[in-house]
Amino acid sequence: MSVLIFIDHADGHVKKASLEAMSYGAALAQQTGTSAEGVILGPVNEDVAALGRYGVKKIHHVNNPALDHLDAQVFTKVIAEIAQSTGAQVIVFSNNLSGKAIAPRLSARLKAGLVTGAIALPNTADGFIVRKNVFSGKAFANVSIKTAIKIIALNPNSFAVATTEGTAEVVNASANVDAPKVKVTATNKVTGEVPLSEAELVVSGGRGLKGPENWGMIEELAKLLGAATACSRAVADAHWRPHHEHVGQTGLAIAPNLYLAIGISGAIQHLAGVNRSKVIVVINKDPEAPFFKAADYGIVGDAFEVLPKMIHAVKKLKGVA
C-alpha cells in the first residue's frame, strides 16, 4: 500500500504545485504509516532522484514520446496502470489544469472517490475525511471518502513545501501508452513573465488605472517585487491587457502569498478568484469599495499618487532609488 503523487512538469521542469503535492503526499504517508511514491510522465530536465528531498521514496518514470504533451485520456490510463501495480490506495494531484483534466477520469476508471480543492491533510482518526473549499472559497466542506482507492486534488498554495535529506529511487516504469488522439501542431507560450499560476506575489490592476497607457506603473512595481501581473475582467474585456492575466470567477483562480489590487472595486466575481490569497492589499480611492471588506490591508487613495510613492519606497529599500 502506498500514497502515489502525480508529479506535473512543464518544459521539463517540475511545477511548484507538484512540490506542494509531494510534500502533502509524504505527510499523508507518514500519517497513515505507508510510503510516498511519485509518478512522472514524459521527459524531464531535472534530476528526478533529487525530488526525494520532498519526501518521495520512489519515483516511477514513464518516458515515452507519446507523453510529450498532456493528453488526459492517455495520461489517465498510464497512471491507472502505475497505481494498480504499486497497490496505491491514495493518489494525490495538484488541483491545477493538469489535475483537473486527469483526476476525474482516473476516479471513474478506478471507481475511486475524489475530492478536489483539498486544503488540509485528511482526518483519518475515524474514516477518511478531507476538508475542501466550496462556494468559491467562501465556505468549507468535510467530505468522507469510503472507497478502497481515494483520490485527492490539492489546491495550490494551501500546503507548505517541506524538504528533507535524501534521494528517491527512480524506476523506469513500463506501461502501455496509447497514441494520443489529439495532435499538437504548435504551442504558443507567454515568455519573460512570472506565470500567474506559480506566482507567490501578484500585482493586479483594474479600471481605476483609466487606460492601458498607465500600466507601466503596475509592471514596474511587479518587476521590483518579482511578482506576476494580473487584471480584472473589465480590463481584459477592454483589451487593455491580455486575457491570460484575467483573474476572477470567469478567469484564473489564484492563491498567492500576496495579492495587491490597484483600482479594482472588488466585485464578488473577482473575489471568487483571489480570496484564497494569504494577504490581500487594496488601493482604491473609493472608501466604500467592496474590496476593502476582504482586504487585510487597505489604502484609500488615488493610485496615481500612491503607486509612485510605493515604487520609490521599494527602490529605496532595495538600494536602487
pLDDT number for residue 298: 96
d(CA 316, CA 33): 51
Q: For residue 43, give Cα distances in angstroms to 48, 62, 82, 116, 316.
A: 10, 8, 17, 27, 43
pLDDT in tens, 132-157: 988 877 789 999 999 999 999 999 98
Domain pair 2-172 / 201-318, same fold: yes
Domain map (residue ranges) of the chain = 2-172, 201-318
- Note the pLDDT tens digit of each residue in 290-299: 999 999 999 9
* 152-184 pLDDT, tens digit each: 999 998 999 999 988 999 999 988 888 888 888
Q: Please, which residues bridge with residue 130 across strands?
A: 143
Terminal alpha carbon distance of the chain: 57
Mean pLDDT for all residues in the chain? 93
319 band by pLDDT with thresholds 50, 70 and 90: confident
Is 80 exceeded by the pLDDT of residue 189? no
Q: What is the pLDDT of residue 191?
A: 65
Q: What is the DSSP string of 71-133?
A: -HHHHHHHHHHHHHHHTEEEEEEESSHHHHHHHHHHHHHHT-EEEEEE-S--B-TTS-EEEEE
- Least confident window among 93-97, 191-195, 225-229: 191-195
305: burial class by Cβ within 10 Å (0-12, 13-18, 19+)? exposed
Say whether pLDDT at 305 is over 90.
Answer: yes
For the CA atoms of 318, 295, 119, 129, what is the dihedral angle to 10 degrees?
A: 160
**What distance in Å separates the CA atoms of residue 219 and residue 224, rounded to the nearest whole number?**
9
Query: What angle, 0 to 180 degrees and rounded to 10, lies between the N-to-C axes of helices 303-318 and 216-225?
Result: 30
| pLDDT at residue 192, rounded to an integer | 59
Kindly state the DSSP code that residue 60 receives in the 8-state scheme. E
Closest among 122, 91, 89 to 105, alpha carbons compared: 91
Q: What is the pLDDT of residues 16-55, one digit of tens each?
A: 999 999 999 999 999 999 999 999 999 998 899 999 999 9
* The listed CATH number (3.40.50.1820, 3.30.230.70, 3.30.9.80, 3.40.50.1220) that belongs to domain 201-318: 3.40.50.1220
User: Of 114-123, 182-191, 262-271, which range is least confident?
Assistant: 182-191
* Strand bridging mode 228-231 / 150-154: unpaired
Of 181 and 213, the structure prediction assigns the larger pLDDT to 213
The radius of gyration of the chain from alpha carbons, rounded to an integer in Å, stands at 21
pLDDT at 281 over 90: yes
Beta bridge partners of 38: 5, 59
- As a CATH number, domain 2-172 is 3.40.50.620
* pTM, two decimal places: 0.88
In which band, very low, low, confident or very high, does the pLDDT at 245 lie, cut at 50, 70 and 90? Answer: very high
Q: What is the rounded average pLDDT of the residues 105-116?
A: 98
Helices (H), the chain: 16-32, 72-86, 97-110, 216-225, 233-237, 268-274, 291-294, 303-318
Does the structure show a pLDDT above 80 at 107? yes
Task: Find the mean pLDDT for residues 241-270.
Answer: 93
C-alpha cell at 42: 514524459
What mean pLDDT do residues 197-219 have?
A: 94
Helix (H, G, I), strand (E, B) or coil at 32: helix
Residue 153 falls in which region: left (phi positive, over 0), alpha (psi -120 to 50) or beta: beta
Beta-ladder partners of 172: 61
- Stretch 125-130: mean pLDDT: 94
Whether the pLDDT of residue 321 is over 70: the answer is no
Residues in the chain: 321
